[in-house]
Amino acid sequence: MADRNTILNNLDIDKDDWVLEIGGGPSPFIRSDILADKFLLDNTQRASSLVVDRPLVICDAHYLPFLDGSFDYVFCSQILEHLENPQLFLREIARVGRKGYIETPNEIRERMFGWPFHKWIVDKDENGLVLRENDVEQAFGLFFHRLQWENYEFSRFCFTAHDLLNICYEWHGKPNFRFAKEGEYRLPSQKVSINVDDVKDLVLSEPYKDRLSNRIRILRKVKKGMPKKLKKILRSLFYSPSYGHRHSEDEAMNYIFSVLACPICKRKVSIKPHKEDEIVCVKCGQNYELRNGIPFMLVE
């Protein structure tokens, strides 16, 4: 078993690599240079508000607005299972990047927690990712969500056994994947009857009851009220130098506009002369908005 920090510290990211992160949401990867997300304000399918602490592009993951081969590394955590067309998405990240990392919940975690808006169950074999439509029954409701929030030991277990509960897949060249054959991963039709209240009574009773339940709440309150500058200092103290530090914000902004492309025809775009809030495709003439320095490159 490995915790998430150990997994990420061993990714094949060079110190000078340009790293794109798709769907970073409220907790972007510390090494990502540029963020890409579809929803600026809608938090329906993420835990909390979008964090924008570095250059951001608003776009659809199925139609990435970047030139071919723009990035050395593409980081995608907890996004593949949300997408309507994973095949198109996987083709797109291979087009814009030369290597990358994909992380999703595995079937164990899907069955424990259950997210009704997840469209795919993701597995992995010796060749790559295996996808099938999400037909997992939501048997436990919010039980494990609450347990992770309230019980320190269980929360710690989820962190230290990250690869036991998630698919962690690094690819080079292109991500290998396939769709599962009919019945390939189907469980026996006989269902085991589980009384959630019985499980709750067991886990939250002595000796299992968490004696440190307030600890995690206090830590989260401290983190929430901590100034951004202090957060950056603390991150730097625990930051692994193995994959270097991300590029400066100015460098990243300049880089965005050197690789930004029309999501439709994939040709280079430019800012309209005398109109600093509009972006235009030099080939098809499609217009896009530039709001407060953020390119909105959505396909209508």
Task: Tell me the range of 34-38, 141-145, 233-237 where mean pLDDT is highest.
Answer: 34-38
Does position 212 have pLDDT exceeding 50, yes or no?
no
pLDDT at residue 112 is higher than 50: yes
Please state, rounded to an integer, the average pLDDT across all residues of the chain: 86
pLDDT tens digits, one per residue of 25-48: 989 999 999 999 999 888 888 878
Domains in the chain (CATH in brackets) are 4-187+196-260 (3.40.50), 262-300 (no CATH)
For the whole prediction, is pTM greater than 0.95? no
pLDDT score at 207: 43
Residue 21 near residue 36 (C-beta atoms within 8 A): yes
Buried b (16+ CB within 10 A) or exposed e, 44-72: eebeeebeeebbbbbbbbbbbbbbeebbb
Closest CA to 110 of 126, 134, 93, 83: 134
Question: What Å distances lie between residue 261 and 52, 70, 108, CA to CA?
Answer: 21, 10, 39
More confident: 207 or 156: 156
pLDDT class of 206 with cuts at 50, 70, 90? very low
For residue range 256-275, list pLDDT tens digits in order: 999 999 999 999 999 876 67
Task: State what percent of residues in the chain have pLDDT above 70.
Answer: 84
pLDDT above 60: residue 52: yes
- Residue 135: pLDDT band (50, 70, 90) is confident
Side chain identity at residue 149, one-letter code: W
